Chains A and B, each alone.
Chain A
């Protein structure tokens, strides 16, 4: 028989997050954790990066991957990419114009001139952190690479949801969004996952997101 759901105490409003949901904690096995992210006004927040890191156990590390961050029509595609530490990323440049990709973020400093028709070797990201990408020629180009050492990670979908199958234990859940300026500490919460059932949490941000970039024609800026 399923035990009654335990209502968690909401986090202080002064913090960036308010957990509004209900966490169901049955007996044993793996739980399917679903996090739904909402803005202050209750609207869903797609595209946020969520990571879950075990606190007690030694976590298995997510395997490094080879990912692609393309340049299409003077924009990075995707705008946010999450990869495990040790992954490599290729920047192919599908545009007919040149780009000069750079990052001065502490997690990875690099410069990469991308002339069309010339392949470039992939870039290794071996430190966790957020890598802000820009183009030295086209100022409006902006993207983020989130390099994580968490075994569970992903982005919220168009409904603002992210889910993962977690084993029992305590986890540190982190939320990151390019339009939610924060040093990270106030966007982390501890969570106990106990069993083999489904747990749903709704997280409401207590701080507004910065405005989304203006979508203007390329011909407006040279």
Chain B
């Protein structure tokens, strides 16, 4: 698979191409640049981001000052109905930097006709699951750390393929509802499930770049993963529904199956195909008074069967989030619970726990955002018992984030 440095070069080439397109056409480029720095205090185990079993992004060995995210996003119209979207990020990576595209896709967006609207996307992007990560760069406007569900998607799950979305715009026809259906075919996500089976759920906001890796390769802990690989010749797919009541309620349901053959292996790269399937459902409600409530649930399983020896990890997570906004101030609280079981071997990868997140955000203008977040994860993990010493842990991470953004979209 492409090495991160290769990704950077590839990214540079794509970026240069888009900029050249932007210069060569009358159509404007919409862009956004942001830098997010963090002051961090954590008593957590070595992070899953560093190849450990710690369930949060920053651990007790991390320096207090961290790069949260450096992000450049470009949207270039290449014809009236076609546009290219690139979302590039640099994250801290234990002394180095992890860089690449979290999303990169071409979109075809014809104008709606008779109340129906079709959209096609090709490239790498997120499946429409998350109800909290609605802001630019697939970030959450409520908390710094994503829910366990969305953290898992950020780490391991991405669509590399083609997605079609058909919306019925009832609210444009005098009704109170909009309805939408989504279907996609994709490949290169047959490593999804590796981190979940190895270290369980975590709460992070570091998005693995397309074709990037999770964790650190090599000993002592073999928890490096490359989620974006294709091992057999099979394509995955998902289908989803969305219903909206005005701009108050959003309901999303999605069924995902990467359809990998669990017995397929790549002996050269020493990788196994992980067959990962899940169903998710969520509801977001908003009030005119500034309240947001979100409940989301996700359940699925990931399995491998190298040489016919099948091991399966069923997993489930749910969260409830409540947020209240007063002008530039946003107060949010979230409760997550999560579990990973294992069938076929003795306990390896099993995890059960819950987490509390409390965050205060202050957004005085379009450029600055300040966020203070407290996150505590209480979990029991088989692998923590094996490698760290005891299964049960209470781990706390506190972050103060300062983000500055500029660009054509928020001048």
Q: Which residues of A contact B (CB under 8 A)?
A: 96-98, 100, 102, 104, 111, 113, 115-118, 132, 134, 136-137, 140, 142, 181, 210-222
What's the least CB distance linking B286 to chain A, in Å? Answer: 5
Picked from B112, B175, B247, B410, the residue with its CB within 8 Å of the CB of A104 is B112
Report if B363 contacts A (CB, 8 A): yes
A136 in contact with B135 given A214-B286, A215-B288 (CB within 8 Å) = no
CA distance A222 to B102 in the complex (A): 15
15 A-B contacts (beta carbon < 8 Å): A96-B411, A97-B409, A98-B30, A104-B114, A134-B112, A134-B169, A142-B172, A210-B176, A214-B248, A215-B288, A218-B366, A219-B410, A221-B134, A221-B135, A222-B134
CB neighbours (8 Å) of A210 from chain B are 176, 246
Contacts of B248 in A (CB 8 A): 211, 214
Q: A214-B287, A219-B135 are in contact. List 8 more A-B contacts (CB 8 A).
A: A97-B408, A97-B409, A104-B111, A113-B80, A132-B172, A132-B173, A136-B109, A181-B176
Least CB distance, A217 to chain B, in whole angstroms: 7
Chain B 101-119: CB-based contact to A (< 8 A → 1; otherwise 0): 0000000010111110100
B141 touches A219 (CB 8 A): yes
Within 8 A of A (CB), among B74-116: 77, 80, 109, 111-115
Nearest-neighbor residue (CB-CB) of A109 within chain B: B113
Query: Which A residues touch B115, using CB under 8 A?
Result: 104
Contact (Cβ within 8 A) B287 A217: no
CB neighbours of B141 from chain A (8 A) = 217, 219-220
Chain B residue, CB-CB nearest to A212: B288
Is B325 in contact with chain A by the CB < 8 A criterion?
yes
Q: How far is it, in angstroms, between the C-alpha of A151 and the C-alpha of B175 when the chains are bound?
A: 29
Q: Which residues of A contact B408 (CB under 8 A)?
A: 96-97
Residue of A nearest to B289 (CB): A214
Question: Would you call B111 and A100 a contact (CB within 8 A)?
Answer: yes
List 9 tightest A-B contacts by C-beta distance, closest first.
A222-B136, A220-B141, A102-B111, A111-B111, A214-B286, A96-B411, A132-B172, A96-B408, A181-B174
Across the interface, name the chain B residue whose C-beta is closest to A181: B174
**Please, how many angstroms separate the alpha-carbon atoms of A104 and B175 in the complex?**
15
Query: B interface, by DSSP: helix, strand, loop or mixed?
Result: loop
**CA A222 – CA B409 in complex, angstroms?**
9
Inside 8 A of A98's CB, which chain B residues have their CB?
27-28, 30, 77
CA distance A98 to B115 in the complex (A): 22
Give the interface size bracket for B toward A: 35 or more
A118/B172 in contact, CB under 8 A: no
Residues of B within 8 A of A102 (CB): 111-112
Contact B171 A142 (CB under 8 A): yes
Q: How many A-B residue pairs have CB under 8 A?
A: 84
Q: Is B26 an interface residue (CB 8 A)?
A: yes
Interchain CA distance A137-B27 in the complex, whole Å:
14
A212 to B288, CA, bound (A): 7
Decide: A116 near B28, CB < 8 A? Known: A134-B169, A211-B246. yes
Closest residue on chain A to residue B244 by CB atoms: A139
Distance in Å: Cβ of B369 to nearest Cβ of chain A? 8
Q: CB-nearest residue of chain A relative to B30?
A: A97
Q: Quick one: which of A97, A111, A134 contacts B172, CB cutoff 8 A?
A: A134
Give the complex CA separation of A181 and B112 in angstroms: 21
CB closest chain-B residue, reference A180: B174
CB distance from A32 to the nearest CB of B (A): 33
Q: How far is the CB of B84 from chain A (nearest CB, A)?
A: 13
Docked pose: A210 CA to B288 CA in angstroms: 12
List which B351-408 residues lie within 8 A (CB) of chain A. 363, 366, 369, 408
Within the assembled complex, what's the spacing in Å between the Cα atoms of A137 and B287?
A: 24
How far does the Cβ of A218 sit from chain B's closest Cβ, in whole Å?
7
- For residue A104, give the distance in angstroms from its CB to the closest CB of chain B: 6
**Cβ–Cβ contact B112 & A216, under 8 A:** no
Hey, what's the 0/1 contact readout for B131-162 against A, CB within 8 Å counting as 1?
Answer: 00011110001000000000000000000000
* Partner of B247 from A96, A97, A214 at Cβ < 8 Å: A214
Chain B residues, CB < 8 A from A132: 172-174
| A222/B288 contact (C-beta < 8 A), A113-B80, A211-B248, A214-B248 known | no
Q: What's the minimum C-beta distance from A47 to chain B, rounded to whole angstroms? A: 16
Residues of B within 8 A of A113 (CB): 80
Which A residues are in CB contact (< 8 Å) with B286?
Answer: 214, 216
Find chain A residues with CB under 8 A from B174 CB: 132, 181
Chain A nearest Cβ from B55, distance in angstroms: 27
CB-CB contacts of B55-82 with A at 8 A, as 1s and 0s? 0000000000000000000000100100
- Minimum CB–CB distance for A209 against chain B, Å: 11
A216 — which chain B residues lie within 8 A by C-beta?
286, 325
Report how far A137 CA is from B113 CA in the complex, Å. 15
Least distance between B320 CB and chain A CB atoms (Å): 19
CA distance A214 to B136 in the complex (A): 19
Contact pick for B288, options A116, A134, A140, A211, CB 8 Å: A211
Residues of B within 8 A of A219 (CB): 135-136, 141, 363, 366, 369, 410
Q: Which residue of A lies closest to B171 (CB)?
A: A142
A89 to chain B, nearest CB (A): 18
**In the complex, what residues of A have CB within 8 A of residue B117's CB?**
136
Query: Which interface residue of A100, A102, A214, A216 has the most chain B CB atoms within 10 A?
Result: A214
- Cα distance, A26 to B112, chains bound together (Å): 52
In the bound complex, how far is the Cα of B85 from the Cα of A137, in angstroms?
A: 13
A120–B63 Cα gap in the complex (Å)?
Answer: 54
* Residues of the A chain whose Cβ atoms lie less than 8 Å from the Cβ of B287: 214
- CB contacts (< 8 Å) of A136 on chain B: these are 109, 111-112, 117
- Contact indicator A117/B171 (Cβ below 8 Å): no
Q: In the complex the two chains form, what is the Cα distance from A216 to B363 in whole Å?
A: 12
Give the residues in chain A near B113, CB-CB below 8 Å: 104
Residue of chain A at shortest CB distance from B366: A219
Shortest distance between the CB of B409 and any CB in chain A (Å): 6
